[in-house]
Amino acid sequence: MSQLQWNTIDYNSLKTDPNISVKIAQEIERLSWIKSPFQNFTGKGGDRGVRAFDVQNDQPFRPRLKSKLTGDGIEGNADLETNYDDFEILNQTIYPKVVGNALRSPIHQYSTMRHIDFVKEATDSLAEWAQDKRDRALVCALCNDFTNAVICDQANGFKDTKSKKSITTETKTIKAGDTMNVKAIRRAIFMARSGISFDGGEAFPLKPIKADTKTEGGLTIMHHSYIIMLDSYQANQLKADREWVEMQKYAGDRGDKNRIFTGLLGIIDGCPVLDMGIWTKMQVGMPSSSVSDDEFKKNLNALNTPKITPPSEYAGAQPVSFGALIGASALVLAGSQKVNFYIDDTEDAGRKVVCGVDRLLAIAKGRFALESGSLSPFSNQDFAVIGLLSSRE
C-alpha cells in the first residue's frame, strides 16, 4: 500500500470528500503494520504463522482447517466404496468485537496547528495505538496457557520433563543460571518436527511456516521452517551460550551476504531466531512473569480464551522469561480488512476536532478441534506453539 500524500489534502476536502477518510483509514492500517514484528508471517494462507480471516460483523466466527487423510486407501481391483476415508474438519470458534480510540484537538484559538496538521498527527498516533493494541493481544494469546514447552536448564540445556504433567509446576523449579541456549531451541525444533509432547509422549508434528523457494542445481526446493521468538533477556543469554558463539565462527560470509548479520538474531537448524523485545508500558514485547495479571488479562478476550494462565503462574522464586517456537496457524486473527476513520468538527460548538478509529478484531491462539466433536490429538492443545521458558536474568 503506497504512502498517503498529505500535501495533496486540504481541510475542506476532509469534510466533503468521503474518499479522503477511506484513504486515511488505509494509511492507518499501513502504518500499524509497518513496524510490527508480526508483519512478515501474517497472511490469509494456511502456511502463515498468524492466519488472518476477514469478517464483516461481530457474530461468532469459525476458522477451519482440513485434517490430514489417514485412511489406507485401496489396492488392486477393490472397490473404492469398500474403504472410504474420513473427511474431517478442524475448527474453533472466536468472537470478534469492536475496538476503537479517538483524539480531540485543542480549541482553534489555543492551537498553533492548522486542522490538517492535527489530523495528520492524530493519524500517526492512532496508527501506533492500533499496532500496540493488536500486537499486545497477539503476544498475550501466544504466551497464554502453553500446552507444550521446553524449560531451560543450566546443566543439561533443557529439563527432563518426561512423565511430568504440569508445565507451570515444572517452571517453578527454574533457578538462576537456567538460561536460554542452543540446545533448548534445538529440542523445541525437534519436538515440533517429531510430534513430541512436554511429557515425552506422542503428540502431533507442527506444520511449518512457508519461507521461500530456492533453485539449486536445477532442483527447486521449498524451504519451510519454524520461527523462534525470544525476549531480549533470552536473546542476550543465547549470544553468551558457548555453542552459539562457536556456531558464529563458521557462519560464512559477513555483511549483507549472510542473514545472521542483517537483523535476524540468527538461524538454528534452518529456523530464524528473532529478538522480539521486552514487554513494557511503552512497547510491545514478549512478557515475563513480572507482568501483572491484570495487565496480561486485559489484552485477552475471555470468550476467545477458555483458560487464562497469566505469566505469574509460571514463576517460583526466580522470575521467568517467555519465548516461543511457532508454526503455521499458531495464532488466528479475524477482523475487518481495514480500520474505519471518523472526523467530527462540530465538537464543543465547532471549536474542536475529533478524530477516531475503530475496527472489528478477534485474536486467539490456534486451538482446533474436530467439527464432529470427537476427540483427536489436537483437542485442547496449542496447534502450532511450543513455549520456551528460562530464567529472567
3-state secondary structure the chain: CCCCCHHHCCHHHHHHCHHHHHHHHHHHHHHHHHCCCCHHHEECCCCCCEEEEECCCCCCECCEEECCCCCCCCCCCCCHHHHCCCCCEEECCECCEEEEEEEECCCHHHCCCCHHHHHHHHHHHHHHHHHHHHHHHHHHHHHCCCCCEEEEECCCEECCCCCCCCHHHHHCCCCCCCCCCHHHHHHHHHHHHHCECCCCCECCCCCCEEEEEEEECCEEEEEEECEEEECHHHHHHHHHCHHHHHHHHCCCCCHHHCHHHCCCCEEECCEEEEECCECCCCCCCECECCCCHHHHHCCCCHHHCCCCCCHHHHCCCCCEEEEEEECCCCEEEEECCCCEEEEEEEHHHHCEEEEEEEEEEEEEECCCEECCCCCCCCCCCCCCEEEEEEECC
Residue that the C-alpha cell 492500517 belongs to: 29
| CA–CA gap between residue 355 and residue 104 (Å, rounded) | 6
| CA–CA gap between residue 228 and residue 208 (Å, rounded) | 12
Instruction: Tell me the C-alpha to C-alpha distance, in Å, between residue 126 and each of 92, 120, 232, 346.
Output: 31, 10, 27, 20
At residue 261, the pLDDT reads 41
% of residues, the chain, pLDDT over 90: 52
Residue, of 37 and 89, whose pLDDT is higher:
37
pLDDT tens digits along 380-391: 889 999 999 999
Confidence of residue 260 (pLDDT cuts 50, 70, 90): very low
Confidence of residue 146 (pLDDT cuts 50, 70, 90): very high
Q: Is the pLDDT of residue 154 over 80?
A: yes
Q: Is the pLDDT of residue 294 over 50?
A: yes
At residue 184, the pLDDT reads 98
Confidence of residue 298 (pLDDT cuts 50, 70, 90): very high
For the segment 37-62, the average pLDDT, to the nearest whole number, is 90
| Under 8 Å between Cβ of 258 and 251 | yes
Q: Is the pLDDT of residue 326 over 90?
A: yes
Question: Closest Cα to residue 191, out of 165, 234, 168, 161?
Answer: 161
At residue 286, the pLDDT reads 97
CB atoms within 10 A of CB 271: 23
Domain ranges in the chain are 22-67+94-393
At residue 284, the pLDDT reads 94
Question: pTM for the whole thing?
Answer: 0.87
Residue, of 281 and 2, whose pLDDT is higher:
281
Confidence of residue 157 (pLDDT cuts 50, 70, 90): very high
Residue, of 336 and 135, whose pLDDT is higher:
135
| Residue 347 in grid coordinates | 465538537
Confidence of residue 92 (pLDDT cuts 50, 70, 90): confident
Helix axes 242-249, 182-194, angle to 10 degrees: 90
Residue, of 208 and 46, whose pLDDT is higher:
208
Average pLDDT, rounded, for the chain: 85
Per-range mean pLDDT, top range of 18-27, 76-85, 138-147, 200-209: 138-147
| CA–CA gap between residue 367 and residue 384 (Å, rounded) | 8
At residue 150, the pLDDT reads 98
For the segment 367-374, the average pLDDT, to the nearest whole number, is 69
